[in-house]
Amino acid sequence: MTEGEEPDVAGVLERVKTGVEAFDELVMGGLPRGRATVVAGTPGSGKTVFATQFLAHGITTYQENGVFVTFEESPRDIESNMYSFGWDLATWRKQKRLAWVDASPRADDELVLGEFDLNALVARIRHAAETVDAKRVVLDSLTQLHDHFIADPALLRRELFRVSLGLKREGLTVLMTAERNSEYGEISRHRMEEFVADNVVILRNVLHHEKRRRTIEVLKMRGSHHAEGEAPFTLMGGRGIVAVPLSSLRLEQESSTTRVTSGNTEIDAMCGGGFFRDSVTLVSGATGTGKTLMVTNFLAGGVAAGEKALLIGYEESRGQLFRNARGWGVDFEKMEADDKLKIVCLYPEAQSLPDHLLTIQSLVDEFKPNRVAIDSVSALERVAPETGFREFLISLTSFIKKREVAGLCTATSKSLVGGESASEQHISTLTDSIVLLRYIQQQQTMHRGLMVLKMRGSEHSKDIRKFAIDSSGMHLGAAFERAPNVFSGPGADGLEGL
Amino acid sequence: MTAPSLILFVSGGSPTSRRARENLARLAAHDLPADWVVEIIDVMTDPARAEESRILATPTLSLGDPARPRRIVGDLSERARVLEFLGIETRSEAP
């Protein structure tokens, strides 16, 4: 920091978590306590959901009660609308954990004539806050309040500033919504955020390539850092806003040194004792080289060691996976019956990438596996533009590590001999370990070869090993004496310098 | 039928609230029917009443007419328009 620059006070600002986990990470832990934030968005962008989630999270997780000031819908309407997200506002109201200030439009005739102030509104909010001992306040939406008193905009601005200041002085953390006319125009109608907010957040709902894309962006955080860029989110029944974390913040997980088996003792030996527990391993190879077999071994090895394993398949049906496993002497049915294994097969095209990520996250959080395999991530490449896919992979790998599960992802390389796929390029820098499976031609015979290309934080064998597949699985043979060039030859150049 | 009631919501001793009180007192003395009941509520000391009547701004004059409830936000300085809005014929010009 240079002299005279405004000091960064991020360290001294207490943070209030919104319940939108990935958003809280964007803003360094949550909204600053005792400050006002404007959440701006077009109609239908999720403002009321975000605001309600902020209150609900305080009530359910932190015993921080809330006040909801509504200028638009009636409290009863909001109570029934928000119920599907899992928030029982009516019950919290009865338990005095939530208080309403009903400022929705009335049927009365009203005439605004001359000067006025909004002291009545402030008095009502303070009264409601005292009644339930609230720490959080939502005003939804400022635009409605503004339009109610449209006659004198200058006076209204002054009054809104006083409302915001008055609530902050009470130590309340304030979230106000405001409407926008367009997704990439002025921040809010009448530029209201300028005189009420310390922080500005934007919710967007954009139609892009015939797919709806919702994002959240932090525009301004007074006296504090925040991450830049738009983080995608979805609205989910029972959960509300679920945002997908941006990559920038998530690459700092500590790595454990605990080893877990790959399911094959010979591969464990090549890796210096197995995979690391909270690491992600990429198995890459052309079709038929044995990727699904490695997945099967990985799952069975975990279950044999008393772990729980999860497989998310995007290429083959459950029936096929079970048949394959049986062919290699692995009984998936029994493992599932014992609740040690869960296999979920999904069509890549069935949902968008952010939704796929959330599905994986919910499966992991529900089943709580010790290891998870995804076969294959390259199948998901079909459903997203490139940038989205990279974000997805980053989020996926960091999620797996954060949950301290061992992850195994497969990627299919397009060419049969050598070669690489886009997902290989994307994921190779993100995964801790890479195992390559390749076809290798020697004279007139085609062999399968396996090589541990990378093993972060550990020694590993540099050999390229022949292997064979039979009814009891994978068997590693001798190393190739003269290393064939398929691992570094034409088409595999991109893997250098990993 | 009972006489309509007027409630003036004010906030403490702010200048606009004080002016509204004075203007209302003048209206009551000269223009309002004698049987109209006038009540004054300070939202700072009685926020529950403001909540009940869903008042946002002060001063607000609320006319509890069952057929047509009406409200005037402001300091009531424009006598003629206030009376017109309340539906009261002006008897004479103010002294």
This complex has an ipTM of: 0.92
CB < 8 Å to A116, chain B: 16, 57-60, 73-75
A vs B, Cβ pairs < 8 A, gives 101
Q: What is the three-class DSSP state of B9?
A: strand
Buried b (16+ CB within 10 A) or exposed e, A316-342: beeeebbebbeebebebeebeeeebbb
- What is the DSSP secondary structure assignment for residue A417, as one 8-state letter? S
Mutate to test the interface with B, among A111, A118, A142, A159 (most CBs of B within 10 A): A111
CB contact under 8 Å between A119 and B85, yes or no, is no
List, in sequence order, every residue forming a beta bridge with A446; answer none if it has no partner. Answer: A441
Whether residue A420 contacts residue A284, with contact meaning beta carbons closer than 8 Å, is answered with yes
Whether residue A307 contacts residue A376, with contact meaning beta carbons closer than 8 Å, is answered with no
Half-sphere exposure of A194 (CA within 13 A, CB side): 10
Distance from CA of A89 to the nearest CA of B (A): 19
Question: Token pair for residue B25?
Answer: 């007192």
CB contact under 8 Å between A101 and B51, yes or no, is yes
Provide the pLDDT for residue A237: 86
**Per-residue pLDDT for B91 more than 60?**
no
Buried b (16+ CB within 10 A) or exposed e, A128-152: bbeebebbbbbbbbbbbbbbbbeee
CB contact under 8 Å between B78 and A128, yes or no, is no
Q: What is the three-class DSSP state of A489?
A: coil
- Which chain A residue is nearest to residue B56, measuring alpha carbons? A121
Name which of B29, B31, B26 is nearest B89 in CA terms. B31
Q: Is the C-alpha dihedral spanning A311, A317, A322, A323 positive or negative?
A: negative
Interface of A with B in 99-158 (CB under 8 A): 101-103, 106-121, 123-124, 126-128, 145, 148-149
**Per-residue pLDDT for B84 more than 70?**
yes
pTM for this model (two decimals):
0.65
Rounded CA-CA distance A93/A79 in Å is: 10
As a whole number of Å, the end-to-end CA separation of chain A is 35
Rounded CA-CA distance A55/A118 in Å is: 23
The residues near A438 (Cβ < 8 Å, ≥ 6 apart) are A285, A286, A289, A417, A418, A448, A449, A450, A451, A486, A487
Rounded CA-CA distance A117/B58 in Å is: 5
CB < 8 Å to B59, chain A: 116
Confidence of residue B86 (pLDDT cuts 50, 70, 90): confident
What are the CA-CA distances from residue A492 to residues A120, A291, A376, A437, A497 (Å)?
71, 18, 20, 13, 11
Total count of residues recorded for chain B = 95
Provide the pLDDT for residue B1: 56
A275 Cα distance to chain centroid? 25
CB < 8 Å to A162, chain B: none
Provide the pLDDT for residue A463: 82
**How open is the CA angle A134-A139-A140, to the nearest 5 degrees?**
135
CB contact under 8 Å between A119 and B43, yes or no, is yes
CB contact under 8 Å between B73 and A120, yes or no, is no
Task: Report DSSP letters for A263-310, one per residue.
Answer: S-HHHHHHTTSSEETT-EEEEEE-TTSSHHHHHHHHHHHHHHTT--EE
Q: What is the three-class DSSP state of A396?
A: helix
Q: What is the three-class DSSP state of A123?
A: helix
Q: What is the three-class DSSP state of A175?
A: strand
CB contact under 8 Å between A107 and B55, yes or no, is no
Rounded CA-CA distance A69/A173 in Å is: 13
Mutate to test the interface with A, among B18, B73, B86 (most CBs of A within 10 A): B73
Nearest to A120 among B50, B69, B70 (CB): B50
Distance from CA of B9 to the nearest CA of A (A): 8
Please tell me whether the peptide bond between A352 and the residue prior to it is cis, using omega within 30 degrees of 0.
no
CB contact under 8 Å between A111 and B78, yes or no, is no
Q: What is the three-class DSSP state of A62?
A: coil
Name which of A13, A36, A17 is nearest A168 in CA terms. A36
Rg (CA), chain A: 28
**How open is the CA angle A416-A423-A486, to the nearest 5 degrees?**
35
CB contact under 8 Å between B85 and A111, yes or no, is yes
Ranges of residues in chain A whose predicted pLDDT is under 50: 1-11, 248-252, 416-419, 422, 488-498
Provide the pLDDT for residue A148: 85
φ, ψ of residue A60 to 5 degrees: the values are -85, -30
Rounded CA-CA distance A242/A215 in Å is: 10
Distance from CA of A239 to the nearest CA of B (A): 31
CB contact under 8 Å between B75 and A128, yes or no, is no
Provide the pLDDT for residue A28: 83
CB < 8 Å to B16, chain A: 114-117
Between B45 and A252, the more confident residue is B45
Pairing between β-strand A275-276 and β-strand A341-345 as defined by DSSP bridges = unpaired
Rounded CA-CA distance A346/A372 in Å is: 15
Residue type at A245 in one-letter notation: P
Rounded CA-CA distance A201/A218 in Å is: 5
Residues on B contacting A at a C-beta cutoff of 8 Å: 9, 11-12, 14, 16, 43-44, 47-48, 50-51, 54-60, 62, 68-78, 81-82, 85
Rounded CA-CA distance A487/A495 in Å is: 9
Nearest to B11 among A102, A114, A119 (CB): A119
Distance from CA of B35 to the nearest CA of A (A): 23
